[in-house]
Amino acid sequence: MAKPVHSMVRVFDEAKSLDFYARAFGLEVADHLKFPDFALIYLRHPSSPFEVELTINFDRNEPYSLGDGYGHLAVVVDDVDAEHSRFERENLSPGPLRDFKHDGRTLARFFFVADPDGYKIEVIQRGALRLIAFNKRSMEDTHERSRSSKQV
């Protein structure tokens, strides 16, 4: 079974991007590989093996056009209201807090923020119903795999 390991974004200004991801999400440089024409910087949070790969092309003279195909990355936080306030204090320009509802029930409480290159990142309240359902399915799948491996 495949396991997600990283998502890559091309960035124009390495210093601005590193500052943003560190201040916004606590991502730290896990690896920095420099080649003659480009660099790859892998960022990771201590709580997760998943990485954000920043690609810097040295010959780039202007910011990237994101086009209409990119969606967003998402992170979960324990207190979305406190994080929104922190982003405002850090001048990270968060979007408005939103409640995503379906049939009158809140599925998620979140806001979006854009990195220096315009990539959108969704900041979601931990424990949102959709996340609870995903985690429950994941735990049930793990339990089922564990049971079937013991029956062999």
Phi-psi region of 72 (alpha: psi -120 to 50; beta: other; left: phi over 0): beta
User: Tokens 């089922």 correspond to what residue?
Assistant: 144
Q: How many helices (H) and strands (E) does the chain have?
A: 3, 8
Q: What are phi and psi of 151, to 5 degrees?
A: -85, -10
Instruction: For residue 117, give every residue at least 6 positions away whose Cβ sits within 8 Å of its Cβ, in sequence order, or none.
Output: 9, 10, 11, 12, 13, 17, 63, 64, 66
Options 14, 62, 88, 122, the catalytic residue: 122
Active site residue 122: yes
- Provide the annotated active-site residues: 122
